[in-house]
Amino acid sequence: MKNRLRRKLLYLAPFAVAAIVIFIPTANTQPPTIRHINLNATQFDYTPGRIEVNQGDEIILSLTSTDVVHGFYLDGYGIEQRLEPGITREVRFSAVQPGKFRYRCSVSCGPLHPFMIGELVVNSNLPFWRALGLLVSGIAGTLVYLWHFGGNEQ
Amino acid sequence: MTTRIDLLAAAPRLKVALKSRLFQPALQIVTLFGFTLAILTGIFGTPTGSRNFGIVFVWIVWWALLIIIIVPLLGRAWCMVCPIPAPGEWLQRRGIVRRTPGQLRSRHHRWPRRLKNMWLQILGFLTLASFSAIILTRPQITGWLLLGFVLAAVGLSLAYDNRVFCRYVCPVGGFIGLYSMMAPIELRTRDCKTCTDHRKKDCVTGNAQGYGCPWMVFPGKLQRNTYCGLCLECLKTCPKDNITLNLRPVGSDLFVMGEHRLDEAFKALIMLACALLYSVVLLGPWGWLKQWANMDTFAHWGLYVIAFWSVNLLLLPGIFGGAVSLSRRLARLQISFRQLFVDYAYALVPLGLAAWIAFSLSFVFVNGSYAVSIISDPFGWGWNLFGTANQPWTPILPGVVSFLQVGALMFGLLYALNTAYRIARHHVQDHQLALRAALPTMCFLVGITLSFLWLYLA
Ligand code: SF4
Ligand SMILES: [Cu+2]
């Protein structure tokens, strides 16, 4: 009887940990700032290729293109802008969602166009840490399971 | 030990349909039509990949369907409907639907024994992968490549009996075979004793109802999905009604220890390495790497290819080999290194499939919408057949992709950990010692998964 209870608890433990990892509320510690960022598009990448900001920051992107017409599309935020060479376009938004979001070219600009990708990381990148926590609790759960009950198999 | 549900016993209508000689060719005609269109649009259509049917329907639509849905759920079912070997097979048989009497028409050459394995498929895959940035983005090259596949298949079926192309050459066939081991579906005999007792073995020789197995497999001994192309000829020929399709626990084939082989082990390793490398090169923010892969200069591309092949054949197998030898020492195993290397490599299969799913998810949601406009204008010539040609590119739920990726990787990893343990258990009776023996492989699996997580989310 007692054994069974322990068994159940063991089964449940990883799920409990996983639930905590997913639903735990977290507060952002960094004070929000305004960030001016110059982002240039060429065939077939963006400079810089990676931008890191903090959640809550106000982002002002100055977008340019140096060769052909490119585009800028930001996953998760749904922002889109067409970039003609020589013209600077400004995009303003506040980084409300944490995580990693790819920005990609939205105007067909040559063969590697579909792979013209950069990344915006909004720290503290909660989705990543949550996924990591989930993974770790999954691994721990599997190991505990195998350790305790593997012997009974077969 | 394991539970199976006999699908054909449960669904007699399905059985009637599958036994019909019309079933396979009817589907092949459909895919052959799409395939021909892909070749034509590739060669004659617009050079802009994202406006070309050949690129979008082959590398986005077909690829995603194959790796996210067909292989994980139905195993080799694609090979049943695949258009590539169809013309050659029909030529060999001098017929499409009807079972034509007599032998297959070919030169009946013998396929060299040394090539009766996956190595050619491994080489083929790595070679194509070395050019992937070019193939994936140039319609013309995709078009010629697809045509080349059909011609190779036809050529081989003129020289050799049966589906030599599929079994030993097709680079796609290699990985479908590998990952079909994960599928919850299998074609098997109902009772193997019936087969041993059956002298005539119609499934091998063929009879008036159908041909002998085109995949050169003896269904009576079938234990894994890897080399069964689900053509269902044996279902038609077996006079004892001994063939069926089963629903089974996912990944059962990984534990058929007697059939583990070095070529398959390497296939598992390189497929994992390729998923990782593709994620770095094609999805990463490093433009210069893409340029190298895209052959901006020949020297850059050369370096890229050297690095690519080294990671595939040396680096990752090396690290994995290190883990295997550690496991041997930790548990004081008496089994040869080679055997252990091969056996543990099967624990990479679930993770590899998950990694390919995660990789494919990243572009199918983002770029899937190209298909909508292209269906109206397959050549990119300004047609508007169904009125959808001007549908703009709209990424679908790009925010959801990473959740799905984490889910896939999580499932793949946990299943792989369990696989590593169970494989260890075959060598070591003692359960705790087995866990220790599996630990280095598990660390390897965790390390790979973390790299994916880092690439996709961090
Ligand atoms: S092995 Fe290749 S050519 Fe043969 S059916 Fe499968 S995918 Fe098609
Ligand atoms: Cu661009």
Q: Could you tell me the residue ranges of all domains in chain A?
A: 2-27+129-149, 34-123
Mutate to test the pocket of ligand 1, among B176, B226, B233 (most ligand atoms within 8 A of CB): B176
Tokens of residue A110, six digits: 């040559």
* Shortest distance, CA B448 to any CA of chain A (angstroms): 12
B336 in the same domain as B204: no
Q: Are A99 and A127 in contact (CB under 8 A)?
A: yes
> Is there a contact between A146 and B363 if contact means CB atoms under 8 Å apart?
no
Chain B residues whose beta carbon lies within 8 Å of the beta carbon of residue A46: 285, 287
User: Which chain A residue's Cα is nearest to B60?
Assistant: A114
> Is there a contact between A76 and B418 if contact means CB atoms under 8 Å apart?
no
Nearest residue (by CA) to ligand 1, atom 5, is B79
Supply the range of the domain harboring residue B166. 5-247
Average pLDDT for chain B: 96
Give the pLDDT confidence of B25-62 residue by residue, as tens digits. 999 999 999 999 999 999 999 999 999 999 999 999 99
Burial class (CB in 10 A: 0-12, 13-18, 19+), A47: middle
Q: Are B371 and B60 in contact (CB under 8 A)?
A: yes
Predicted pLDDT at A153: 56
B202 in the same domain as B139: yes
Confidence of residue A14 (pLDDT cuts 50, 70, 90): confident
Strands A58-65, A34-42: pairing is parallel
Q: Are B327 and B340 in contact (CB under 8 A)?
A: yes
Q: Which residues contact A5 (CB under 8 A, 6 or more apart)?
A: none
B297 in the same domain as B227: no
Q: What is the count of structural domains for chain B?
A: 2
Distance CA B383, CA B431 (A): 65
Measured N-to-C along each axis, helices B139-159 and B23-44 cross at an angle, to the nearest 10 degrees, of 140
B305 in the same domain as B228: no
Residue A68 has pLDDT above 70, yes or no: yes
In a domain, B143, yes or no: yes
Residue B435 has pLDDT above 90, yes or no: yes
Predicted pLDDT at A25: 66
Distance CA B55, CA B57 (A): 6
Residue with tokens 């009946």: B108
Predicted pLDDT at B244: 96
In a domain, B262, yes or no: no
> Is there a contact between A135 and B398 if contact means CB atoms under 8 Å apart?
no
Residue B172 Cβ inside 6 Å of ligand 1? The answer reads yes
Nearest residue (by CA) to ligand 1, atom 7, is B173
Chain A residues whose beta carbon lies within 8 Å of the beta carbon of residue B249: none
Q: Could you tell me the sign of the dihedral formed by the alpha carbons of B404, B410, B416, B419, in that order?
A: negative
Domain end call among B187, B213, B247: B247
Q: How far is the CA of B118 from the centre of ligand 2 (A)?
A: 39
User: Could you please report the per-residue DSSP string of B127-143?
Assistant: HHHHTHHHHTT-HHHHH
- Average pLDDT (B207-217) is 96
In a domain, B261, yes or no: no
Give the one of A50, A125, A150 whose C-beta lies nearest to B435's C-beta: A150
Give the pLDDT confidence of A30-63 residue by residue, as tens digits. 788 999 999 999 999 999 999 999 999 999 999 9
In a domain, B252, yes or no: no
Give the pLDDT confidence of A92-142 residue by residue, as tens digits. 999 999 999 999 999 999 999 999 999 999 998 999 999 999 999 999 999
In a domain, B69, yes or no: yes
Predicted pLDDT at A9: 73
Strand partners of residue B394: none
Cis peptide before B139 (omega within 30 of 0): no
Residue A5 has pLDDT above 80, yes or no: no
B127 in the same domain as B95: yes
Q: How far is the CA of A89 from the centre of ligand 2 (A)?
A: 15
Mutate to test the pocket of ligand 1, among B76, B82, B156 (most ligand atoms within 8 A of CB): B82
Q: Which 8-state DSSP code applies to residue A110?
A: S
Residue A29 has pLDDT above 80, yes or no: no
Checking phi first, is residue B288 left (phi over 0); if not, alpha (psi -120 to 50) or beta? alpha
Strand partners of residue B348: none
* Shortest distance, CA A85 to any CA of chain B (angstroms): 19
Residue with tokens 């100055």: A62
B183 in the same domain as B122: yes
Predicted pLDDT at B311: 98
Q: How far is the CA of A67 from the centre of ligand 2 (A)?
A: 9
In a domain, B40, yes or no: yes
CB atoms within 10 A of CB B74: 17
Predicted pLDDT at B158: 97
Tokens of residue B278, six digits: 């593709």
The secondary element (H helix, E strand) that includes residue B210 is strand B210-211
Give the one of A49, A119, A128 whose C-beta lies nearest to B287's C-beta: A49
φ/ψ of B194, rounded to 5, equals: -55, -40
Instruction: Specify the 3-state DSSP secondary structure of A81.
Output: strand
Please say whether the structural domain A34-123 has been given the CATH code 3.30.830.10.
Answer: no
Give the one of A44, A102, A132 whose C-beta lies nearest to B453's C-beta: A132
Please count the residues of chain A.
154
Predicted pLDDT at B364: 93
Residue with tokens 């895919």: B31
Checking phi first, is residue B241 left (phi over 0); if not, alpha (psi -120 to 50) or beta? left
Cis peptide before A124 (omega within 30 of 0): yes
Give the pLDDT confidence of B298-327 residue by residue, as tens digits. 999 999 999 999 999 999 999 999 999 999
Residue B422 has pLDDT above 90, yes or no: yes
Instruction: Specify the 3-state DSSP secondary structure of B337.
Output: helix
Domain end call among B247, B281, B307: B247
B153 in the same domain as B73: yes
Residue B236 has pLDDT above 60, yes or no: yes
User: Which chain B residue's Cα is nearest to A151?
Assistant: B431
**ipTM value:** 0.91
Strands B185-189, B206-207: pairing is unpaired
B274 in the same domain as B243: no
In a domain, B263, yes or no: no
B241 in the same domain as B317: no
Instruction: Specify the 3-state DSSP secondary structure of B21.
Output: coil
Instruction: Tell me the H-state helices in B160-261.
Output: 164, 171-179, 192-197, 202-205, 233-237
Q: Are A82 and A71 in contact (CB under 8 A)?
A: yes
Name the interface residues of A facing B (CB cutoff 8 Å).
42, 44-46, 49-50, 73, 75-76, 97, 99-102, 104, 106, 108, 111-119, 121, 125, 127-128, 131-132, 134-135, 138-139, 142-143, 146-147, 150-151, 153-154
B339 in the same domain as B193: no
* Shortest distance, CA A46 to any CA of chain B (angstroms): 8
B78 in the same domain as B207: yes
Distance CA A73, CA B255 (A): 46
B341 in the same domain as B229: no
Chain A residues whose beta carbon lies within 8 Å of the beta carbon of residue B395: 73, 75
- Average pLDDT (B75-98) is 97
Residue with tokens 């406009």: B373
> Is there a contact between B285 and A76 if contact means CB atoms under 8 Å apart?
no
Q: How far is the CA of B21 from the centre of ligand 1 (A)?
A: 19
In a domain, B256, yes or no: no
